[in-house]
Amino acid sequence: MFNRRPATAAQCTLLALALCAGFAASADAATLSFGGRLDDPNNKALLSSDLSAATFDSAQALANNVAIYQFDLTQAGQVRFDSQGYAAGGLSPYFSIFSGQGLAASFVDSNYFSTGTDFHLSENLAAGHYTLTLGSNQNLSFAENYGRGTLGDGFTGLGDPSQMGNASYHFTVSTPTAAPVPEPTTLTLAMLGLACLGLWRKSLPRANFQASKHQFSLPA
């Protein structure tokens, strides 16, 4: 059974910074493009599995980094999520979709049933804010692993170094609306930071939940 701790103020701030760095920008308004490397210290979208600062000092640390992005869906409809990085020599991705932004974002779906290759998912989503996370295979969120919880609970830290490839990833999001998300502003960053801090102040230690069928075992 995994133990989860409430997010700290520092983790709230790091998540806000990662989300601002991870706003989508695309030449094609209806297709948002995301990409980077889990081993790149200049990749501002990266955090570690416990939502602390990303680390790069070992193969396991690299495999436990997670890229976090967000986008706004202004019109309900079918949204496609397609990965191209694995076929190009990149990592075996573990991809998750959360509804909302910040620590309180709730788990929607993942590529749990199609790992070990590029993912191709289609989701019927309501209009609203969404957060996307991508790590290496088996590094799933606690929210998925336990069948309840939020993005603020972090990730299991079970990323597999043997499935990192060249550590790169790339995926696209095809939306039913032609409304690209603008680059973040200083005000956006401040608002996200304050929202995260507010959630942190309200957070209390939670009891451990029984694992769902998705639970993996921690290494000895």
Of 85-89, 121-125, 132-136, 211-215, the one with minimum mean pLDDT is 211-215
User: For the domain bounded by 9-202, which CATH number is listed?
Assistant: 2.60.120.510
Of 28-42, 93-107, 120-134, 155-169, the one with minimum mean pLDDT is 28-42
Per-residue pLDDT at 29 exceeds 70: no
More confident residue, 135 or 21: 135
Per-residue pLDDT at 45 exceeds 60: yes
| Of residues 191, 182, 201, 151, the one with CA closest to residue 16 | 191
pTM: 0.74
Which pLDDT band, with edges at 50, 70 and 90, does 1 fall under?
A: very low
| Residue 165 CB neighbours (<10 A) | 17
| Of residues 71, 75, 128, 117, the one with CA closest to residue 95 | 117
Per-residue pLDDT at 219 exceeds 60: no
Mean pLDDT of 8-32: 55
pLDDT for the residue numbered 217: 43
Of 39-43, 71-75, 170-174, the one with minimum mean pLDDT is 71-75
3-state SS string over 126-148? Answer: CCEEEEEEEEECCCCEHHHHHCC
Render pLDDT for 125-135 as a digit per residue (tens, 0 to 9): 999 999 999 99
Mean pLDDT of 126-147: 96
Q: Rounded to whole angstroms, how far apart are CA atoms 93 and 115?
A: 7
The H or E element that residue 20 is part of is helix 9-21
Of 74-83, 113-122, 177-186, the one with minimum mean pLDDT is 177-186
Residue spans of the domains in the chain: they are 9-202
Mean pLDDT of 102-120: 95
